[in-house]
């Protein structure tokens, strides 16, 4: 395709996106539609390098975003596993309820009561 016949050479949106990519202003390029950019079917020799730079920047940003999502998903899995491990450890370490002290048989209780009474009477003297 000849430069005279290319409708993309004079496209201000494409020029702005190419300028943002060339200036390495990724935030502005994203605002201008970098992530959704689809190259035209045909382009002239002047547009091909600009389109190539835009496509390289788009693909790099999409790979970075995908990597960030994988990292976040991994962090969530690790956090969930750590919480599950902590819950299991807490359940395993929970002490058994304290049992009530054993009660004395009636005969032993009576002997103890007499001994206490005798000791109390001895102190009163």
Is residue 107 a part of any domain in this protein? Answer: no
Whether pLDDT at 124 is above 70: no
pLDDT band at 18 (very low <50, low <70, confident <90, very high): very high
Is residue 74 a part of any domain in this protein? Answer: yes
Which of 40-44, 76-80, 85-89, 114-118 is least confident? Answer: 40-44
- pTM beyond 0.75: the answer is no
CA distances from 26 to 46, 48, 50 (A): 22, 20, 15
Question: Across the chain, what does the average pLDDT equal?
Answer: 86
Domain count, the chain: 1
Per the structure, the complete domain to which residue 48 belongs is given by: 3-93
pLDDT digits (tens, 9 = 90+) for 26-75: 999 999 999 999 887 777 878 888 889 999 999 999 999 999 999 999 99
Is residue 118 a part of any domain in this protein? Answer: no
């Amino acid at each position: 395709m000849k430069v005279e016949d290319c409708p993309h050479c004079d496209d201000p949106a494409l020029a702005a996106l190419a300028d943002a990519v060339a200036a390495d202003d990724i935030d502005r390029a994203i605002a201008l539609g970098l992530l959704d950019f689809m190259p035209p079917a045909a382009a002239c020799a002047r547009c091909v390098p600009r389109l190539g730079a835009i496509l390289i920047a788009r693909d790099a940003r999409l790979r970075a975003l995908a990597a960030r999502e994988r990292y976040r998903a991994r962090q969530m899995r690790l956090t969930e596993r750590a919480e599950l491990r902590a819950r299991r450890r807490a359940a395993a370490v929970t002490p058994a309820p304290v049992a009530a002290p054993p009660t004395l048989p009636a005969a032993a209780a009576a002997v103890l009561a007499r001994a206490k009474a005798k000791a109390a009477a001895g102190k009163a003297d």
